[in-house]
Each structure stands twice: as C-alpha cells, then as structure tokens.
Amino acid sequence: MIQFLSPIIKSGIGKSFKNKSILLSLVAIPAVAIGIYHQNNQGLRFYTASQVKMNEAAFIAPQLSPKWDFSPERILSDAKKIIDTSNDFYNAMVAIENPSIENFVIPSINFENENSLAINQLTFLQHVSKDKLIRDASLEATELITNFDIEISLRYDMFKQFDKIFNDLKDNKKYNDLKTATPKDYEIFKYVEKCHKDYVRSGLNLSEEKRNEIKEIKKRIALNSLQFSKNLGEQNEFVAFTKEELEGVSDDVMKQFETYTDEQTGEQKFKVTFKYPDIFPVLKTAKNPNTRKIAFNADQNKVPENEKLFIDTLKLRYQLGKILGYDTYANYNLDIKMAKNQETVMEFLVDLKDKLKPLAEKEIEVLKAIKKTEAQELNMAYDDHYYIWDHRYYDNKYLKDKFNVDLEKISEYYPVESTIQGMLKIYETVMNLKFIEETDKDLKSTWAGDDVKQLAVWKMDDPSKPEFVGWIYFDLHPREGKYGHAANFGMAPSYIDKDSKRIYPVTALVCNFSAATADKPALLKHNEITTFFHELGHGIHDLVGNNGIGRFNGPGAVPWDFVEAPSQMLEFWTWNKNELLSLSKHYKTGEKIPESLLESLIATKHVNGALFALRQLHFGLFDMKVHTTTDDNQIDNMDLVQLWNGLREEISLVENGDEMNKGYDSFGHIMSDSYSAGYYGYMWAEVFATDMYYSKFAKDPLNTKSGIEYRDIILARGGIRETNDNLKEFLGREPSKEAFLKELGLQ
C-alpha cells in the first residue's frame, strides 16, 4: 500500500493475487549494517559502510536528511504558521491582474514544492510516534491542514487565475504538445491542466451556493476519515484464551502473548491482539475451531465506533457526486482513473468472479476433505461446512501436509538483518542502485530512535560518479499506537527548485513484521518478505522521479488503478528459487535454506489462488456496491451487515455460519479518497504487473538492462506522460492480459 500525506491524507494497501498470504498493506530493523554493493567483472560484492572509506567522498549526500525533533507544541505551531504563510501567498497570487506563467504559475509550483516536506512531517507523526501526545498533536495538525487545503481547493479567485492561463495554453503547441514543447514547458502545461481539472472537479465552475455546500461536505468527509484512521491506529483490543484453547499455536508465538489471571476462573489467559503477528498465527494454527471462530469474529468486529463514520461518509460522497453532476460517487471518482466509469469496473470484476468460481469450487472441495479427515482423526463431528474462520487454518494445514511447507520453520532461514541486506542487494542489481545506512548519530534523525533505520540511496549508472537520489526510512516492527498495516509514506517529492537545483525526495516504509523474542531474532515469514519487496517498490518509485515539478513524481502521480502495478511486479522475485536462496541464512547456523524446502514453498504459489482472488473480489465488489447508490434512500435502507456477509458467502464461497460480523469497520481503504470506488485497482493493476514481469524479467530476473528501463520509463517518469504510452514503450507493444489470466490459471 501507498500513503500520500499532502495535501489530503490518502491511504491504501499493497496486495497481490500471486501471494495469497500477503499481509494487508495500507513497511525498524534491529541494528544492522546495511552495506554497499559494487558491480564488477567478478560479480556483485558486498561492502559494509566502513569499507567504503577509500571512496567515501563520492557518497556524501548533497542534501541532509530531515530532522524529527518535534514537540506537540511545535507541531501545532508549525501547522498554523504554514497556514498563515499559505494564506498570504495565495492572497498575493489572486491580486495579480494579468496572471502569466512567470508571475503566477512558476511561483505556485515553487511554493507547492517547498512546503511538501514540512506538511508531510507534521501529518505523518500521528502514524508512527512513540509519544501519544505527539500523535494527538499530529492528528490535530492534520485536521487543520486538511481543512485549509479544502478551503484553498475551493477558492474561486484562484480558479479564475488558473482558468485564464489554461485557456491561453490549451491550444498552444509550444506548451501542450509533447513532441514540440521543451520538457520544461510541457511540464508547466501539464501542471496548469492538472490544477484546472482539480478545480473543476471541486465544483469551481458551479454557483457560489453549491461551492459552499461542497466545501462543508469535503470537510466532513476529511474529518470522518481522520477519525476512522485514528480509531484503527489507537485500538488496543484483544481476545483472551487459555493455553488449552490455543493448542496448535507454536511455543514461539505463545511467548509473544501477554498473560494475566482471570479473576473469575483463576485460569491463566493469553492476550491475542489484532496485530498481524498475533492474530494470524492463531487463525492459521489453533486446532480448536471455536477458538478460531472467536478470534476471527472479534478481529472483524473491532472498532465498532467506525460504523457511523462510514455510513455518514457514504451519504456525503453520494451528495458530492450528485452536486458535481455524476449519477454516482463511483463515476465521479473513476473519471480520473484508467477504468473511467463504473460499468467498466463492474464488467472487469464480475467477469473475473465468474471465471474463477469453477476453480475455487474445486479448491473448496479439497479443503473440506482435509477438514473431514481431521475431524475423524480428532474424533470430532464433521458438519460438512466450510466457514470463513476455517480457511486460514486448513489452507495452512494443506500446505504443511501436502507440500511439507512449515512457514515458521522456513522463517528461521530469514532473520531480518541478513534478509534485508539480501533484498537490497537484489534491488541494487536490478535497478543499478546503492543503499548506504546512516549510522553517524550527529547526522541520523528518526521519529522513533533506533527502531528506525535511515538510508541514503544512490544511482550507479556511472560508478565513477554516483548520483544521489534521496533518503529512505525503514520502520518495520509493531509498537503501541503505530499504524497497524504496511505502507509506503511519501514525505517529500523530488523537484527542481527556483535556483534550478535538484531537491531530493524523502520516503518511509512502515510495516508491522514479526519482532524478536527473548531467544530468537526477528524472523521474516515469507509473506513478510513479499510485503517488504512490495513496499520498497513504492519507495523506489518515490526516489527515482526525475520531473521538475514534485506533484508529477512518485506513485501518487500515476492513475490510482495503476499505482500498485510497479510494486506488484516486484513481488515475483520473492517466488523465484535463486533469489529466495540468496536471501536465506539460518539464524543459528548461517546455513542456506535446503533447496527441497524452497521448492516445496514455491510449489504452493498458486495453491488455493482462486479462493484468494475471490476474497479480493469480495472487497472490490463491496466497495463498488456501496459507492454506486443513486439516491439517499438506498443508503438509508442499505443493510451493510447483510451486504458485507452476504457478498462474502456468494463471492468467496466460504460460509458465515451463525455469525455476522462488521469487517467494514476496519476496511481502511474504503475511507480513502483514492481507494474508495477504487479497490478494484489491485486486480486491475495486476494485469500490467504480470505483463511487465513475464515480458521483461521472467527469463532473467536480475537483468540490469531491463531493470534500468523499468526504473527510467515506468518509475522515473511519474505522471507526466500517459501510463499506457509508458507501458507500450517499455513492453514494445500494447499491454496484454494474457499473462495475468495464465497466472490465475484461467488460460
């Protein structure tokens, strides 16, 4: 998933059909010397930072990393200063009688570029700070900045200035034609065009009465989204079980649970939180079906206070779309995506559902047979049902029994330190980059001390002249109050400043991977390796942008139904034998993972893949159903509980039993401006991701030539050109869905 913090908070999750066990991704390494790699005729060598002293001058970053020494008071003070300064700037801009590129557009670009980092730091801290007071201040600052941004986006006087300039440029080939315009002039035109379109989509071409109505609607939606996210981030809920009820859960996992004595029964109870490293192992390995049922439904029913926020937001979105001239909110939000309208999306989703159903029905029968056999072995009654809380358990059991895949055993070969080193090595080889950890305490600054790693990233196209590309942070393990999923947060984009100097980007990976225990280091499950690869892909997208205007660089610059494709493509590396072998190093012995164990893991890539894809389609179709209402009465009369659970049974082919839950209360994507009526984008983007991988990397995953082309055509161009044109240039042809359908087993 990718998160963009400015000007409006947006959220998302990175997830793929290929990896049916990947964590929901809406990415702090322990002390590890992330090193430097050098490509030479003898192959790839790894250097620690201390071994680079002979050429250290070449790796002095030309831009210091940002400082994170914020107090609650400073956060709010800085937010108010930014708002005051911005007000002064925009008031000056609208006072210009004859706006032009020189006196209006370029100052606007510079002002936007220069303020992005400051704003994003203030709004980011709510997700990651150890200090609750700082998190609360960051949330308050976010509300102030968001409301101000809404005010600015609805300033009619600013729209009129942009409208004048847009009408001057729209038919001028000196600016609007990629073939005849200079890169700088074309970029300026695209900036004016984008701003103008954003104003129109905000209703600035409507009456003042409607503009004021839109303003209030947007503010309420933004406030609901912030509160929804805060409720999820701050929740400390858990479900408690006895040791007997957790039979099957490994000793290593049991050690991470807090314990207490039940006052009524005197029994020792184990607290299972709803953080991934706690809840997933219980759902996958607890033998008692009632334990799994209780755990699953408790997790699904967390943060019940979010339901009112969700329902209110649905009503507000419908009203927004209606005022802006759209029959549904979905059609409003899809207008700027590749799919363009809800009919195209529904056709895509329903077609996939129908094609996948026969495969999924066969997978269900296999899993039910495993359930029946286990019931006989345990002398339990078999009820001929397959419930939603059964699925992770019997999917995991099938992998162990049929393929001899023990995911916890496999994780012993992937300690965080060496695995991260190996993953960076792959990225360095494919994209010709270099990562260097900042260990100087005088230069390093993070929001959570040594829980977070800070790295400088360099481009090595000319090894004699390394080219700095930016800063990246890794914050990888859970802690109280921290954002609960996995995401890349873009802090500051790359851009050219008013003195024609390149300003370098800053980005952060925030995850919740398994932490170290008293007797073991942090070990990565295979799905966590895949999640890191995915989120680092978003981070690299942030770092290598080479446009002059910040808003056109990074993942946020491309259509939202393509944004996941570059990172989804990179997940393929985590299913390749050679790459997984190179990453492995047993935490005790240092041995490589046995090839037989690796081959068994890889053989499971598509096991129960149709069921996983249908689960994704449940999310996507629920998202579309709630955002394609055509009047307020439909929302008032909508039975969300029935819709959520009914669609799951119909689409995912798993039963709800006697339990109806409210999983939509923690469905963070659906409260995002970008992912609402947009969750289909994960599947849509997978078409392009699969096509790119099989066309360019399947035969030679470490091909640097293809990697540089991918870096420079797909990533570095950001949103300045049409996505489909970039794909055609990279692939050498029109994109095709053939590889995607083959990957799903549909061809």
CA–CA separation, 117 vs 106, rounded Å? Answer: 19
Q: What angle do CA 23, 456, 420 make, to 5 degrees?
A: 35
In terms of Cβ atoms closer than 10 Å to its own Cβ (0-12, 13-18, 19+), residue 399 is buried
Q: And the tokens for 102?
A: 């020189």
Of 301, 310, 396, 354, residue with least CA distance to 656: 301
CA–CA separation, 650 vs 442, rounded Å? Answer: 58
Q: And the tokens for 555?
A: 């993942």
CA distances in angstroms from 361 to 188, 650, 741, listed in the order given: 53, 12, 18
Which phi and psi angles does 639 have, rounded to 5°?
A: -95, 90
In terms of Cβ atoms closer than 10 Å to its own Cβ (0-12, 13-18, 19+), residue 608 is buried
Annotate 637-651 with b (16+ C-beta within 10 A) or e (fewer). Answer: eeebeeebbebbeeb
Q: And the tokens for 512?
A: 């919740």
Q: Is 677 left (phi over 0), alpha (psi -120 to 50) or beta?
A: left
Of 428, 535, 579, 686, which residue is the catalytic one?
Answer: 535
Of 243, 250, 290, 281, residue with least CA distance to 265: 243
Q: And the tokens for 359?
A: 């495969």
Q: And the tokens for 224?
A: 């609901």
**Residue 506, helix vs strand vs coil:** strand
Q: What angle do CA 574, 337, 9 make, to 5 degrees?
A: 75
CA distances in angstroms from 696 to 429, 507, 564, 689, 731, listed in the order given: 15, 27, 18, 11, 7
Percent helix, strand and coil across the chain, each to the nearest 5: 55, 10, 35
Distance of alpha carbon 360 from the chain centroid? 27
CA–CA separation, 417 vs 522, rounded Å? Answer: 8
Q: What angle do CA 526, 528, 534 make, to 5 degrees?
A: 110
Asked if residue 558 lies in contact with residue 675, where contact means CB atoms within 8 angstroms, the answer is: no
Asked if residue 490 lies in contact with residue 554, where contact means CB atoms within 8 angstroms, the answer is: yes
Helix axes 276-285, 289-300, angle to 10 degrees: 150
CA–CA separation, 61 vs 84, rounded Å? Answer: 32
Is 437 catalytic? The answer is no
**Catalytic annotation, residues:** 535
